[in-house]
Structure 1
Amino acid sequence: MTFNFIRYDQGQQHLLPKNVAEWVEEDSLERYVSDVIDHLDNEGRLDPFYPDNREDGRGRPSFHPVMMLKVLVFGYCIGIRSSRKLDRLLERDIAFRYLAANQHPDFRTISLFRKNHREEFEHLFVEILRLCREAGMAEMGEVALDGRRVQGDAALDQNRTREQITDEIHDILEEAAEVDEAEDDEYGPEQRGDELPEELREREDRLNRLREARDRLNATEQQLKEEQAEKIRQREQEEEESGQKKRGRKPTPPEEVELPEDSKANTTDPASQTLKTSNGWKQGYNGQAMVDCDTQVIVAQEITTDANDVQQLKPMLETCEKVNGKRPEKALADAGYWSKANAQLADEQTEL
């Protein structure tokens, strides 16, 4: 199978120096990352990152996925996650120029590659774990689990109720209609006039985020209705089996269940949640990591918006088993994970 890629050869000869491989030390991190990605590619473990083959061969050649992965993985290894910073480093940094073989994808290309391969990066995590096990690491003897509340790219004061969001959407749409009418008078109904002003681009982006925040609140309310309907079904089933009506007030019909008045969603990052931390409140996420105690290899990871850790022990053990093929012999976690229900998760295979 052939692909229409820009030719990518890290051994490409140059006048000075002879090739980019001479720019980095043999025992450097960038060379190690390069060798690991090459090994995974040679064994076909990176196939999900390859695009579908076009039979007609048309289209502009794309950057090689192996090169893009090396740049992203190395950047993440040294704590650089910004696509714009990676763009600059591909121009200025010897390690990145070596990994990219002097090619220079811009920040939009880097960001789009990451967005388009979100699920494939989960696959890469599993493949690297498998590689660690082949090397005798991450044997799943003793692991440690902990969570950390991470500040999202959002502010606490951007949380809105559904009514506030609806009013703001209305205001934006009214303003947009007035702007459209004014521009029709200025440029004519058939003329664009010029590129969309920055303030209008920002307004459209904000409108999309407001709609996303409103949809999240609507989805939460729908979930509450479905949970209430399930409670009623269970109650009716128990009454039918016992032949007696249950005492107490009848449950609220699902269609009458509504969101609490103080329910809010963030209009900057609708997926984030308000979380209480030791340093106060944060608008963000709860990152979970399970680590092999002997080798410090991360064997399972997850991101959640649950405010506490107590609900994360069971899913993290399940993720660990799914990714590694077995549960650990011993799992360590702090008191934030303790509950009577979680204590029942221990079995002959895993000591908690």
Structure 2
Amino acid sequence: MERYKCSENRNQINMLPMCLDDMLTGDAEVRALDVIVEKMDIPSMGFTHSETKETGRKPYSPVDMFKLYAYGYFNGIRSTRKVERECYRNIEVMWLINGLKPDFKTIADFRKNNKGPIKQAFHKFSMICDELGLIGKEMIAVDGSKFRASNSRFSYHSEKKLQKKIEHYNKVAEGYLLLLDQYDEQENDCVTPKLNRSEIDEKIKGVYKRLDELRELEQTVKISGTIYETDPDSRMMQTNNKGCDICHNVQIAVDDKNHMVVAVDVTSEPVDKEQLHNMSLHAKEELGVETITVIADKGYYSAQQFAMCKEDNIIPIVAKADRSFMAATKEYEKSKFNYDENQDGYICPQGHLLRPYQHRKKYTQETDFKRYQNFEACSNCPVKENCSNNEKGRTIQDRPFQRIADEVDRRTEQFADMYKVRKQTVEHPWGTIKRAMGFSYFLTRRTENVRTESLLSFIAYNMRRTINIIGTKQLIRILQG
């Protein structure tokens, strides 16, 4: 007796008609994706071929193409060639787009030609999430992460890197010239050289040709700066574990209620300092609210950004650096000095008043740093060595818009428990996107294209989050009701 389960013969003709719908379970996530995209009303967003001509070859529907992209990014399949293969072998894809089989070029062109409509699609799905009650609209968390760009290190040229390469090839050229000088001696000693004279000459010509190319590149770099050949908008950035890579800096704003991403942007700036107002305003407009609270880590700490946020009714809660670079010890950092508004000065822990240092030029709050000193009091202070790194005494420096920064510091200290929510709010999408959905590097190039790729990834993330919270069957009933 056969001890294994018997299977059907693959060559046997099935007399019963096959139905793709019967092959999917009732709670398959692809069923929810299908209903979500239908609810988004894709043709109204101006996608390519939303309106077709009466003559000519029939195009693929933008609804089917968007479904294909939503499914691909939802399941971590981002390469257009891989998506094309799924159309031939994946039952869920066959069911989703009714057996259509677009080629990889058609799939790639859809993303390339619909940057604006894809951005509208992100906004449209945010509106659907709002209708489902998934967005709180009260507090958001802003954060950035580096994603590797489609630009090899071999296609990256800085002045320092080129100098090292030129030095290396000069040494190689010297080695071949020395080998050429030794060639005759080896022949006289009846020793067969590893390379003959013509081969050595060819090697030397190749080295000098490469040196000419590098020197030409060096002159270009000196004039126009570092060269990124493949993706000119990418930049060398510091990444985790003190490493460096050629990246784009992806910025997101996450609503705290259900960790839904409400704003996405991509920048070539390696630091986050100038991104707080931009992302907060973007999220505020996306949510359609009058005021919003934003929390961010110390990388976003900028008094000028706080001033811009205040003008637009954005309430920032941002941590600051642990200590001042002018303080000798942590016990005497700037936060230990109290600002007295009536006297326009800082009172130190020993009770002395540090007065404004008189500048020769007229002081402007928006552009200049303001310094406070009292070297006379510092000269006889018993804790001078613990307080200041300067032999003369301590200087307190105010950045532009310092009073607004002080207001943010007080608010951050007051709402310390709220600030602790930041990490669990904004790190959740990064973990899901990078680990579960496989989005840790870009396939496209240039800022506009990588921004579109990021939007597609976070549309898929929001869809996955919505399905996980509500459930497939319940979500389908709500959207079809």
TM-score band by shorter chain is 0.5 to 0.7
Q: 1:101 to 1:348 in 2, by over 3 A?
A: closer
Contact kept, 8 Å, 1:37 with 1:66, in 2: the verdict is yes
The aligned counterpart of 1:87 is: 84
Tell me if 1:277 matches 2:239: yes
Distance between the aligned counterparts of 1:54 and 1:262, measured in 2? Answer: 45
Report 1:12-91 matches (<5 A): 16-18=17-19, 20-41=20-41, 46-51=44-49, 53=51, 57-91=54-88
Contact kept, 8 Å, 1:286 with 1:306, in 2: the verdict is yes
The aligned counterpart of 2:396 is: none
The offset of 1:54, in angstroms, is 5.3
Q: 1:46 to 1:75 in 2, by over 3 A?
A: farther
Q: 1:339 to 1:21 in 2, by over 3 A?
A: same
Contact kept, 8 Å, 2:40 with 2:121, in 1: the verdict is no
Distance between the aligned counterparts of 2:293 and 2:61, measured in 1? Answer: 41
**Per-residue Cα deviation, 1:22-49 (whole angstroms, up to 9, x for no partner):** 33223222111100111122xx664412
Report 1:277-296 matches (<5 A): 277-278=239-240, 279-296=242-259
Tell me if 1:102 matches 2:99: yes
The offset of 1:79, in angstroms, is 1.8
Q: 1:349 to 1:271 in 2, by over 3 A?
A: closer
Q: Please tell me the root mean square deviation across aligned C-alpha atoms, in Å.
A: 2.8
The offset of 1:349, in angstroms, is 4.5
Q: 1:308 to 1:119 in 2, by over 3 A?
A: same
Distance between the aligned counterparts of 2:120 and 2:72, measured in 1? Answer: 18
SS of the equivalent of 2:40 reads helix
Distance between the aligned counterparts of 1:50 and 1:266, measured in 2? Answer: 31
Distance between the aligned counterparts of 1:347 and 1:160, measured in 2? Answer: 41
Tell me if 1:133 matches 2:97: no
Percent pairwise identity: 26
SS of the equivalent of 1:95 reads helix
Contact kept, 8 Å, 2:138 with 2:293, in 1: the verdict is yes
Distance between the aligned counterparts of 1:272 and 1:128, measured in 2? Answer: 29
Contact kept, 8 Å, 2:141 with 2:294, in 1: the verdict is yes
Q: 1:327 to 1:17 in 2, by over 3 A?
A: farther
The aligned counterpart of 1:303 is: 266
Distance between the aligned counterparts of 1:342 and 1:319, measured in 2? Answer: 14
The number of residue pairs the alignment matches comes to 243
Q: 2:121 aligns with which of 113, 120, 124?
A: 124
The aligned counterpart of 1:263 is: 225
Q: 1:281 to 1:36 in 2, by over 3 A?
A: same
Give the partner amino acid of 1:117.
N
The offset of 1:133, in angstroms, is 0.8
The aligned counterpart of 1:227 is: none
SS of the equivalent of 2:58 reads coil
Larger radius of gyration: 2
The aligned counterpart of 1:342 is: 305
Q: 2:141 aligns with which of 140, 144, 151?
A: 144
Give the partner amino acid of 2:250.
G
Distance between the aligned counterparts of 1:78 and 1:327, measured in 2? Answer: 36
Give ranges in structure 2 of 5+ residues lacking alignment.
1-14, 163-216, 317-481
The aligned counterpart of 1:237 is: none
Distance between the aligned counterparts of 1:125 and 1:342, measured in 2? Answer: 26
Distance between the aligned counterparts of 1:45 and 1:134, measured in 2? Answer: 21
Contact kept, 8 Å, 1:156 with 1:274, in 2: the verdict is no
The aligned counterpart of 1:182 is: none
Distance between the aligned counterparts of 2:80 and 2:289, measured in 1? Answer: 36
**Per-residue Cα deviation, 1:93-137 (whole angstroms, up to 9, x for no partner):** 122111111111111111111111122110100100111111112
Contact kept, 8 Å, 1:151 with 1:284, in 2: the verdict is yes
SS of the equivalent of 1:49 reads coil
Contact kept, 8 Å, 2:142 with 2:280, in 1: the verdict is no
Moved over 6 A (4+): none
The offset of 1:274, in angstroms, is 1.4
TM (normalized to structure 1)?
A: 0.63
Distance between the aligned counterparts of 1:307 and 1:122, measured in 2? Answer: 24
Distance between the aligned counterparts of 1:15 and 1:323, measured in 2? Answer: 51
Give the partner amino acid of 2:47.
F
Distance between the aligned counterparts of 2:110 and 2:312, measured in 1? Answer: 43
TM (normalized to structure 2)?
A: 0.47
The aligned counterpart of 1:314 is: 277
The aligned counterpart of 1:156 is: 153
The offset of 1:161, in angstroms, is 6.4
